[in-house]
Structure 1
Amino acid sequence: MTAHSKAYEQSYYDEPAVWLEWGPYQAAVLPRVGANLIAFRDTAKQYAVLREPAGDEMDLFRSNSVVYGIPVLFPPNRYKDGTFTWKDRTYTFPINEERTGNHLHGFFLDSIWSVEGYGSNEQESFVSLSITIEEGHPIYAFLPHRFTIQLRYSLSEHGLLQHVLVKNNGDDAMPCMLAFHTTINAPFAPGSAPEDYKYTMTIDKRWELDERMLPTGHYQPLAQEEQLMATTGLSPFWEPMDNHYTSTVNASGRNAMELTDAREGVTLVYDVGNAYKHWMIWNNKATPGFFCPEPQINLVNAPNVDLPQEQTALLELQPGGIWEATSRFYFRTNR
C-alpha cells in the first residue's frame, strides 16, 4: 500500500510556505523567514513537535523568530563585542544583545531564501531551499565571503530528515560556523503535561561561561542532575538552563537528544549526527512549554577563545569546499 505523499505551496497564516505530507506526518517551511521549518506534526496522533506561533502571533513571531520552529544560526550564538579576527581579517557584527554587549545569532534568521524545488513520490515528500551570499547582498557587509547554504527537508516512514550544505563559492577560505535553534514542545502530545516528560542528551563536558555568557576556556563539573542526561533522563525544566556542552555519542554511536513522554509511551529522537561537536540548551528560565536543544558546530565565540581547533571545532572552508550534515526526527515506541 502506497503512503499518502504530497508537497505544495500554501500559506501558513499570512506567510508563504511550502508544506510536506507523508503518511501521518506533516511539515511546513517558511522561505521568507529564514527557511525556518515552522511545523513538524504527526496528524494521526495530533503531536506537534515544534513550537509554532498562533495566527494572532505572527507579528510577534517575525520579530523574534528564534524561539519558534528550527531557525538557522550562522554564525551561531554569541561573539564578544560583536567582533573577531580570523586569518588576518577582522569581522565586525552589530551588537544586538545589550545585556551582554555581544552579537547574538548571526544574520540568517529573517533572511529570504529561494525555493529550489519540491515534490513527492512513494518514498518521500521533500523541499529544497537555498540562499547565496555575494557582493551586494546585505549579509555580505558582515560576512564578506561568497557562499551558499542549502537546506533540504524530507518526510518519509523514517520521520523528518534535514540535510544542510554550506559551499564556499569564493577565492579565499571562510569560517564555517552553524547551529540550529531547535524549539521543541514539551508537551508535544495533547493530554500530556510537562511532568510527563524527561530528556536525555549526549553531552560530555560543560563549558564554564562568564557573566557575558561567553566561554572562559575552562570546563566546570556536571551537576548530579546533569549526569542523568546520559542515563535515566530528567525534566527539561529541572532548573533554568542556558548551558553550553561538548557533545559525545550514546551506546548506539549516535549524537542525539531524546525526549520521552511517559504517559504516551513514546520517545521523540532528535539525532543530529556526529558533525556537531557542541550543544547549547536553553529552556526559557525553566518555564514549562518548550525548550531548545541546539546542535552547534563550534564553540560559542570560538575565534576569540585561545584554545586549539580540536576544542573549538572552528571549521575552515577552503575555496570550492563543501561542509554538509544530516539530522533526523523520529518517534520510538516504548511499549
Structure 2
Amino acid sequence: MPAVETTYGGERAIRLTHGRYEAYLLPGWGNLVALRDTARGFRFLREPEAEMDEFRKAPGRYGIPVLYPPNRYRDGEFTIAGRAYHLPVNEEATHNHLHGFFMRIEWPVVDMGEDEGGAYVEMAHDVGEGHPVYEHWPHTFRFAIRYELSDAGLVQRVQIDNRGGEPMPVMLGFHTAVNVPFSKASSADACSMQLTIGERWELDDRKLPTGRFQPLNENERKMPTGGADPFYEPMDNHYTARPRDGHNRMVLTDARLGLAFVYDVDLKYRHWMVWNNNRCGTFFCPEPQTNMVNAPNMDLPQDVTGLIVLAPGESFSARSRMYVEEVSR
C-alpha cells in the first residue's frame, strides 16, 4: 500500500512508498523523520529510529520539525498589528522563546492515500479557543501540511488560513536535518554544500540579530555557487535568502557518487539558518524561514524582516521539494 499506518521506533507512524522512495511521518510530533531511496540504500534525513529517547528530548535535531514561530524572540514578547504576544521563555540561557508551539504536539492526520501524483498524507491543526496553541497565539486558523511522494521526490505543501476576524502573523520555518553523507558508501569529506544565501546577519550574545550584516568568510562566499564545506567551523548562522535562477535551495553534492540531494524551498522563505551541531561531521540543518529571527522586535521594514500578516480570510501557502539529481564527477 502506498500510504499505511504503522510504527516507527515505537511511535505511531504513516509510511509512504512510491517507486524507490520511502518516507515516514510521526503524527505525534508532526515530523517527517525519514526520506529514503530504498533501491540504493540512501537516507537523506537524520533519523531517530535508533535513539528515540534522544528524539523525544530534542525533536528539533531529526527529520523535518515544524517551527512556528521559528527560532528566537527576545523575552518571548512582541507586538504585531496592535496585539501584544507573550510567549513562554523556554531557552533560559538567552531568556528567549525558541521554535514555537507545533514541534512537540500531536498533529491530526486528516487524509492519506494515493492519487495520480503518488502517495500522500495530510495533517492539520484547527486552532481556536481550547486548542493548546491558542493561549499564546490567540487566533482562529487552520494550519495544514501535506507530504507527497512520487518519482519527483518528496513535495511539502503548507497552507495557513486565517479564519478569525483580526490580522494574524505568519512566522514559519523548518529545522530540517540532512545527513552528510546520505550514503554509507561515501563519506563527509566527499560532500560539499550549495545554499542560496545573500547577507549574513550579525547576532548578539543572546543569538538575536543586531540589524547589521557581517562580511561573509571564504567558505560562505562559496555557498551560493557550490563547493562549501558544511563542517568548516561550528555554525549557528543566520542569512538572508538570495534565490538564483528562480530557485531558493540547498544542494548537497557527493562527488564520490556523482549525485546531489536537492532541497528546493519556496521563494516565500526569505531567510536561512544554518546549524551544524558544533561541527559534528554527520548532519547539518539548512533551515528555511519566512522571517528573520526576532522579526517583530526589529526596527526594520517588513519587506526586510519577512514578517507576513494575514488579513481576515487570507491564506498563506508554500511548496518545497526534495529530490536527487546526477552531477558530473
* Range of TM-score over shorter length: over 0.9
- The one-letter code sitting in structure 2 at the alignment partner of 1:29 is L
Percent identity, please. 50
Compute the TM-score of the two structures, normalised by the length of structure 1: 0.96
**Given the alignment of the two structures, is residue 184 of structure 1 paired with residue 178 of structure 2, yes or no?**
yes
Q: Is 2:9 aligned against 1:13?
A: yes
The alignment status of 1:48 with 2:48, answered yes or no, reads: no
Aligned partners of 1:128 and 1:233: how far apart in 2? Answer: 36
Aligned residue in 2 for 1:280:
273
- Distance in structure 1 (CA, Å) of the matches to 2:175 and 2:248: 16
Aligned length: 328
Match of 1:100 among 89, 94, 103: 94
The answer for the alignment partner of 2:33 in structure 1 is 38
SS of the residue 1:51 aligns to? coil
User: What amino acid maps onto 1:90 in structure 2?
Assistant: A
**Partner Cα separation in structure 1 for residue 2 and residue 214 of structure 2:** 48
Contact persistence 1:112–1:131 (CA under 8 A)? no
- 2:288 maps to 1:332: no
Which letter does structure 2 place at the counterpart of 1:147? F
Is 1:131 the counterpart of 2:125 in the alignment?
yes
The superposition leaves residues 19-67 of structure 1 with CA deviations (integer Å, 9 ceiling, x where unpaired) of 100000000111111x100100000111000111134x21221121000
On the 8 A contact 1:204/1:246 being kept in 2, the answer is yes
Q: What pairs with 1:10-159 in structure 2 (closer than 5 Å)?
A: 10-33=6-29, 35-55=30-50, 57-121=51-115, 123-159=117-153
- In 2, Cα distance between equivalents of 1:165 and 1:81: 28
In terms of mean alpha carbon deviation, does 87-96 or 38-47 score higher? 87-96
- Secondary structure at the counterpart of residue 11 of structure 1: strand
CA distance in 2, matches of 1:269, 1:288: 19
User: Contact 2:17–2:23 (CA<8 Å) still a contact in 1?
Assistant: yes
Matched to 2:188, the amino acid is: P
- Counterpart contact for 1:268–1:329, Cα < 8 Å: yes
Q: CA deviation at 1:121?
A: 4.0
1:138 is paired with a residue whose SS is coil
Q: Normalized against structure 2, the TM-score is what?
A: 0.98
Distance 1:199 1:290 in 2: 12
1:25–1:41 CA contact under 8 A, matched in 2: yes
- Which residues of structure 1 form unaligned runs of 5+? none
Q: 2:312 maps to which residue?
A: 319
In the aligned structure 2, how far is the partner of 1:233 from the partner of 1:9?
A: 40
CA–CA distance in structure 2, aligned partners of residues 26 and 174 of structure 1: 36
- Contact 1:197-1:259 within 8 A present in 2 as well: yes
Equivalent AA in structure 1 for residue 25 of structure 2: V
Taking the aligned partners of 2:226 and 2:85, their CA distance within structure 1 comes to: 43
The alpha-carbon deviation at position 235 of structure 1 amounts to 1.3
Which secondary structure state, in structure 2, belongs to the residue aligned with residue 17 of structure 1?
A: strand
**Corresponding residue number in structure 1 for 2:283:** 290
Alpha-carbon distance in structure 2 between the residues aligned to 1:176 and 1:191: 41
| Secondary structure of 1:195 counterpart | helix
Alpha-carbon deviations, 1:153-194, whole Å to 9, x = none? Answer: 011111000000111111100110000000000011112111
Q: Matched residues in 2 for 1:133 and 1:261: separation?
A: 42
Match of 1:257 in 2: 250
The 1-side partners of 2:226 and 2:57 are apart by: 37
Amino acid at match of 1:289: T
Alignment deviations for residues 249-301 of structure 1 (CA, whole Å, 9 cap, x no partner): 12x32010000011111000100021110000100011111000000000100
Superposition deviation, residue 112 in structure 1: 1.2
Between the aligned partners of 1:273 and 1:171, the Cα distance in structure 2 is 28
Q: Does 2:189 match 1:195?
A: yes
- Cα distance in 2 between the residues matched to 1:300 and 1:112: 25
User: Residue type of the partner of 1:300?
Assistant: V
| Aligned-residue CA RMSD (Å) | 1.1
Offset of 1:76 from its aligned partner?
A: 0.5
Aligned partners of 2:315 and 2:226: how far apart in 1? 38
Structure 1 CA distance for aligned equivalents of residues 227 and 127 of structure 2? 41
Equivalent position amino acid for 1:272 in 2: V
Q: Distance in 2 between matches of 1:122 and 1:42?
A: 20
Say if 1:168 and 1:322, in contact at 8 Å, map to a contact too: yes
Paired letter, 1:22: H
Q: Which runs of 5+ in 2 are unaligned?
A: none
CA distance, structure 2, for counterparts of residue 240 and residue 117 of structure 1: 40
- Does structure 1 residue 223 correspond to structure 2 residue 221? no
Could you tell me which amino acid in structure 2 is paired with residue 125 of structure 1? A
